[in-house]
Chains A and B, each alone.
Chain A
Amino acid sequence: MKKKLTFGGAINQAIDLAMGQNDRVFCIGEDIALMGGSFGVTRGLLQKYGEDRVIDTPISEALIVGAAVGAAAVGMVPIAEIMFADFMTYCFDQLVNQAAKMRYMYGGNIELPMVVRFPGGGGIQAAAQHSQNLENLLVHIPGLKVVYPTTVEDARGLMLSAINDKNPVMFFEHKYLYATMEEVTEEFEPIPFGKAAIRKEGSDVTIVATGYCVNKALTAAEKLAGEGIKAEVIDPRTLFPLDTATIYQSVDKTGKLVVVTEENKRSAWSAEMAALVAEDKYDSLKAKIVRIGALNTPTPFAKNLEDYVLPQEEDIINGVKEIC
């Protein structure tokens, strides 16, 4: 039987399932228990699992992630919420120097099964400190896995995999996607990391997009189809590990690559994606690689300014037309 479910509800379902199956799984973060999280993702868990396992913390982000690392080190499975991805700057040492490096520094003698959730992304007039796409800062760090789901089905399947993983998993949730609704089955399975999804097949150009930009790329692809350009839209789902095989196969077919991400373009994940294809698939390319991203500014507040700075459908269409 199929049921309607939101993106946020999907993540809740995965956490609920994992907490029910394994009493070492617990949630920790600001306003996640009594209030159910700033975006309602952990709603109902306190009532079901109690305050020892659904922990409201003081406003101490570094402590949240550091405590998650400590708990994971002694065999627990923490799911930490950092209220806005922008706040990762408070806990950067815990992410970069502790979570990511501990297993390696300790010669492989420790496992850190932990998830850190980061609601991120712009488009909701949250301005410069509550809108960023900082995922690539963490993709850069060996020792972390970085997940960025874009559909309701993926959100719960990838969250289940994140909780089952024995490594620190950084789980990005685009705020614009929380209200997305899909009809899904009640039963669900973990979705493995490192498997991209081809959201739309096409033969003229490969569009690799992440986060909410997948939706924008799909709308752009529909419009392009009307003009006779068949775009293939690929959602990598996990930024690391990255399914280069699926992307390379598509580039072999189309010979053209457009990378669309919401991050500002300077030193962005899209640059890494473009560089990988340039290094490994140079001979398949029939045109230059195009990158679409936000302008290199902080995210402005006013709607007209924000819309101008963030990449929009027409930017994708124009980008594709540059090489098609």
Chain B
Amino acid sequence: MEKTKLLALYKKMVKIRKFEEQASEAFAMGDLQGFVHLYIGEEAVAAGACGAISPDDYITSTHRGHGHMLAKGADPKLMMAELCGRAPGYCRGKGGSMHISSIDLGMLGANGMVGAGFPLAVGAGIAQKIQKIEQVVVCFFGDGSTNEGLFHESLNAASLYKLPVIFVCENNLYGISTRQDRSMAIEDIADRATAYKMPSVIVDGNDVLAVHRAVAEAVKRAKAGQGPTLIECKTYKHHGHFEGDPALYRPEQEVEEWLSKDPIPRFEQYLVEEKIATTEELNDISEQIQAEMVAAVDYAIECPFLEVSEAVKDVYTDLVEEGRNR
């Protein structure tokens, strides 16, 4: 992979990390409310996967969707505005963190319902098949969602119809407090693909290049009409389930072990060792992005909220619900 591409992956990961850190801080300061699920620790998955697809390809996301949105090219300012519920935000302040989306970026939405992205990805895949368009859909999902019926319905259908869908599992070991070994009898989500005659691969989800390689391979298969692939990325989230969750249910030793496998320092080490960039160059990039994310928060908290009269709009394309008389 050439230098510019490698650095692009690095920038994407750092962008997600810095954005999330700023969001966390803004949440602690009270500038940002609601349920906020941060992606810190899992950056290699979104950056690696979205780095292997084209801008006109689609992705579906989860409740932990900031990373996917940024990796698909979202503007951090408009994202932060949405997280703060402001009018210029991606969803005009009507969606917030959990429903952030941009159809223009091919991002079909963060989703508050666990497992709801699976059939959306199948639907987008059916659309591509009918129209004979050479696009793919990347469906991001967590380990816990594979216990939902829709995971199985969707994998079955995607495999049956040979749809160009790439199922990317972010296995961060936990569904809120419930560790994988308390919610399923198997160790690898990838095993579940076998039941649907779907090829699967397990990758180190904290190795951005490994994720990128696996997704690029799956894209090739999908575009050759060979159907879907399941890629299980073993990773870990540094924060709790949502901001405000101290995550006391996770053993300290486990957390420490995973913190030492942080995908960003690992990739930095690779870039320096392979003489792609110097530590100073990487620090410069990091600082520049840090400043950009601080500016995003400054921008967001100065943005106006929507007028309340707008609350009754956008339910339908052609009908406006009745407002309140006051």
Residue in A62, A71, A105 whose CB lies within 8 Å of B91 = A105
Interface centre among A60, A67, A93, A143 (most CB of B within 10 A): A67
* Minimum CB–CB distance for A52 against chain B, Å: 5
Residue in B58, B91, B160, B316 whose CB lies within 8 Å of A143 = B316
B157 within 8 A of partner (CB)? yes
Task: Given A60-B153, A105-B99, A107-B93, check contact A70 B317 (CB 8 Å).
Answer: no
CB contact list, A119-149 vs B, under 8 A: 142-143, 145
Whether A67 lies near B95 (C-beta < 8 A) is no
Whether B153 lies near A63 (C-beta < 8 A) is yes
* Minimum CB–CB distance for A180 against chain B, Å: 30
Whether A58 lies near B156 (C-beta < 8 A) is yes
Whether B154 lies near A66 (C-beta < 8 A) is yes
A94 within 8 A of partner (CB)? yes
Residue in A23, A52, A69 whose CB lies within 8 Å of B129 = A52
Residues of A within 8 A of B157 (CB): 57-58, 60, 63, 67
Give the segment of B32-40, B105-113, B252-260, B282-290 that binds chain A.
B105-113
Whether B116 lies near A93 (C-beta < 8 A) is yes
B119 within 8 A of partner (CB)? yes
Residues of A within 8 A of B58 (CB): 74
Residues of B within 8 A of A66 (CB): 116, 118-120, 122-123, 150, 154
* Contact digits for B212-236, partner A, Cβ 8 Å, 1 yes 0 no: 0000000000000000000000000
Residues of A within 8 A of B92 (CB): 107-108
* Minimum CB–CB distance for A93 against chain B, Å: 6
Task: Given A58-B160, A94-B116, check contact A107 B91 (CB 8 Å).
Answer: yes
Residue in B102, B127, B130, B321 whose CB lies within 8 Å of A70 = B127
B126 within 8 A of partner (CB)? yes
Whether A70 lies near B122 (C-beta < 8 A) is yes
* Contact digits for B308-326, partner A, Cβ 8 Å, 1 yes 0 no: 0000011111110100000
Chain A interface size, as a band, is 35 or more
| Separation of A63 and B148 alpha carbons in the complex (Å) | 12
Task: Given A63-B150, A107-B91, check contact A75 B315 (CB 8 Å).
Answer: no
| Separation of A86 and B307 alpha carbons in the complex (Å) | 40
Determine the residue in chain B with the shortest Cβ distance to A75. B127
B101 within 8 A of partner (CB)? yes
Determine the residue in chain A with the shortest Cβ distance to B161. A55
Residue in A28, A71, A110, A167 whose CB lies within 8 Å of B124 = A71
| Total contacts A-B at CB 8 Å | 149
Whether A93 lies near B130 (C-beta < 8 A) is no
| Separation of A255 and B298 alpha carbons in the complex (Å) | 61
Whether A102 lies near B109 (C-beta < 8 A) is yes
Residues of B within 8 A of A102 (CB): 109
Task: Given A26-B130, A58-B153, A106-B99, check contact A93 B113 (CB 8 Å).
Answer: yes
Determine the residue in chain A with the shortest Cβ distance to B132. A52
Task: Given A98-B116, A106-B101, A107-B89, check contact A67 B123 (CB 8 Å).
Answer: yes
Residue in A55, A72, A74, A167 whose CB lies within 8 Å of B317 = A167
B69 within 8 A of partner (CB)? no
Determine the residue in chain A with the shortest Cβ distance to B130. A52
Residue in B108, B153, B315 whose CB lies within 8 Å of A73 = B108
Residue in A55, A106, A143, A241 whose CB lies within 8 Å of B126 = A55
CB contact list, A3-41 vs B, under 8 A: 23-24, 26, 28
Residue in A63, A74, A107, A111 whose CB lies within 8 Å of B94 = A107
Task: Given A105-B95, A106-B91, A107-B93, check contact A70 B313 (CB 8 Å).
Answer: no
Chain B interface size, as a band, is 35 or more
Task: Given A62-B150, A108-B314, check contact A53 B130 (CB 8 Å).
Answer: yes
| Separation of A307 and B325 alpha carbons in the complex (Å) | 46
A97 within 8 A of partner (CB)? yes
Residues of A within 8 A of B112 (CB): 97
Determine the residue in chain B with the shortest Cβ distance to A90. B149
| Separation of A105 and B116 alpha carbons in the complex (Å) | 15
B138 within 8 A of partner (CB)? no
Residue in B118, B123, B314 whose CB lies within 8 Å of A78 = B123
* Minimum CB–CB distance for A307 against chain B, Å: 37
Residues of B within 8 A of A70 (CB): 60, 108, 119-127
Whether A76 lies near B130 (C-beta < 8 A) is yes
| Separation of A142 and B123 alpha carbons in the complex (Å) | 23
Residues of A within 8 A of B93 (CB): 107
A188 within 8 A of partner (CB)? no
Whether A73 lies near B120 (C-beta < 8 A) is yes
Task: Given A62-B150, A71-B126, check contact A103 B116 (CB 8 Å).
Answer: no
B103 within 8 A of partner (CB)? yes
Residues of B within 8 A of A105 (CB): 91, 94-95, 99, 101, 109
Whether A98 lies near B120 (C-beta < 8 A) is yes
A166 within 8 A of partner (CB)? yes
Residues of B within 8 A of A57 (CB): 157
B174 within 8 A of partner (CB)? no
Residues of B within 8 A of A289 (CB): none
16 of the cross-chain contacts (CB-CB < 8 Å) are: A24-B131, A58-B153, A62-B119, A62-B150, A66-B120, A66-B150, A71-B127, A73-B103, A74-B128, A102-B109, A107-B90, A109-B91, A110-B101, A143-B315, A143-B316, A167-B318
Which 3 pairs across A and B sit closest by C-beta, in order of nearness? A70-B123, A66-B119, A108-B314
Interface residue ranges, A against B (CB under 8 Å): 23-24, 26, 28, 52-53, 55, 57-58, 60, 62-63, 65-76, 78, 93-94, 97-98, 102-111, 142-143, 145, 165-167, 241
Instruction: Given A57-B157, A109-B91, output 13 extra A-B contacts at Cβ < 8 Å.
Output: A55-B161, A63-B154, A63-B157, A66-B116, A66-B123, A67-B120, A67-B157, A71-B124, A106-B103, A109-B102, A109-B103, A142-B321, A241-B319
